[in-house]
Amino acid sequence: MPRLALGLLKVSKHNFPADPAGRMDEFALTVSQADTLLRAKFGGAPDLRMLVAPEYFWSGYGVIGRTVPVLGPIAMDRDDKHRIYGGLKKISKRAGSLVLVAGSIFYHKPGQTRALAYNVCPVLRRGSFLLKQYKEFDDGAAGKNAGRFGYDVKDSDPFFEVDGVGVGLEICGEHGRLATWNANANRTVDLQILISDGSRFLPANMVVRNGGFAIHTDMNGNSVSAGVYPAGGPYTTAHALPPDGISGAQVNGGMVMTYSLTI
């Protein structure tokens, strides 16, 4: 039974400036500090290490919406997205076998008739991409940005496997996509991960196997914004597993919550 050393990055969008400059250096330090804690789990011998960041982590937040102004993610341009990819590859290479579910990047690029926005969560290990998970549909942020972007998606399966552990990955409002996909794919889901900005697990959308775990981290900053739950739920704060470690003073006032899980 694999022993997973897990870290969840818990941050609030209320602490995130519209300009995300400098976040890569902060994130590099957070990854380094978190991985030191994760390597020490299970007497220094975990089988798998993983760090998960929330949706829109790379986007920066500001006021969006013209009719009803709200605090929301600001879409960056495609060149900035590629620079983030380059930085993440360097961080991941330094972290070795750590699986880095790096949160999502909200960006835009030119389309045939109007600019299009995308929301992608890269997953890396040893400096290479395991998955670039594109959110299936927009939650309204694209149309509320100043450019009033359209929204598009690229093909990606909501699943990856690492060292024999099957991992399902969903982004916020597309929760349920994994269940639909797996009805045909029939893969064993040992870990079901949801990264979000104002969402939570719904029992009808859960496909994690008995004995596995549901993992959630949310940018919204509410009381259920980060947690780990045994398969079968309930998926409420009262039933979340307590972390066995917390590292504060991380990027933008966040914290890393750590867990030792036998899958």
CB 102 within 8 A of CB 53: yes
Q: How many independent structural domains does the chain possess? A: 1
Q: Is 43 exposed, middle or buried (0-12, 13-18, 19+ CB in 10 A)?
A: exposed
CB 100 within 8 A of CB 94: no
Task: Flag whether pLDDT at 16 surpasses 80.
Answer: no
Q: What is the mean pLDDT of residues 114-132?
A: 96
Range list of β-strands (E), 74-230: 76-77, 99-102, 105-109, 116-125, 128-134, 150-151, 159-162, 165-171, 191-196, 213-218, 226-230
pTM comes to 0.94
In a domain, 228, yes or no: no
Q: Is 92 exposed, middle or buried (0-12, 13-18, 19+ CB in 10 A)?
A: buried
In a domain, 181, yes or no: no
Domain range holding 33? Answer: 3-162+240-262
In a domain, 129, yes or no: yes
In a domain, 65, yes or no: yes
Q: Is 168 exposed, middle or buried (0-12, 13-18, 19+ CB in 10 A)?
A: buried
In a domain, 170, yes or no: no
For residue range 76-87, what is the model confidence (pLDDT) as tens digits? 999 999 999 999
In a domain, 97, yes or no: yes
In a domain, 68, yes or no: yes
For residue range 48-90, what is the model confidence (pLDDT) as tens digits? 999 999 999 998 888 888 778 888 898 999 999 999 999 999 9
In a domain, 126, yes or no: yes
d(CA 63, CA 60): 11
Please give the single-letter amino acid code of residue 90. K
